[in-house]
Amino acid sequence: MIDPPGTGADDLVVYDLSDWSPEQRRALGRSLTGEGVAHHWDRDPGAPAPDAAAVPVSPPEGADQLLVPEAHANLVEELIDGIDHPEALEPQDDDGDDRGGEVLSELYVASDVLLGAPTNLAAGDEIREAAAAAAAMAAPYGLDDDVWAEVRARAASVEQALVNDDEEGVVVAARALREAVRPLV
């Protein structure tokens, strides 16, 4: 049984679903019953609800207020979102792997340093390491494969200029790499 609001036993959360169609409310009622969530449909959110076993799956005509125990609020909100936005994509778990973002950042910083100091050994080493990492990985999440291929090609150009001890070539290639990476970091 759902206790009346304010008794402390089962404080209720009220959802105003007046903008929902009867079909949407029926679908939510079926989902709530399927999940075993005690609920009550009413026009008056202050009215006490009957025993959950007596709750109809379909809301009565004109009942657009849904009352549920507060303990089930998170589940009810998920069910409501699923019905209200059926085309929404499921959230993806963040696997914590942001190596692509780190590589882009390393390429940007090192290319920026090489613009002003094309013989900087530490920046040269950073470019080599980041370019090798970029070459070994797929495009980072959200980055187009063609854009990623361009970044890798520009990083390789900087590497080649470093190998050739071509200071002017390092500056030109580093500028091109930095310009390609800047909007991505």
CA 93 and chain centroid, separation = 8
Q: Which of 53, 84, 115 is the last residue in one of the domains?
A: 84
What DSSP string describes 77-108?
HHHHHHHH-TTPPPPPP-----HHHHHHHHHH
State the residue range of the domain holding 74. Answer: 12-84
pLDDT digits (tens, 9 = 90+) for 16-40: 888 888 888 889 999 999 999 999 8
Tokens of 44: 């008056």
Do 110 and 172 lie in one domain? The reply is yes
Do 77 and 114 lie in one domain? The reply is no
pLDDT digits (tens, 9 = 90+) for 80-93: 888 887 776 565 55
- Predicted confidence at residue 57, as pLDDT, reads 53
- Asked whether residue 4 is domain-assigned, the answer is no
- Which one has a higher pLDDT value, 89 or 178? 178
Tokens of 134: 């970029």
* Total of domains in the chain: 2
- Please give the share of the chain, as a percent, with pLDDT higher than 90: 50
- Asked whether residue 7 is domain-assigned, the answer is no
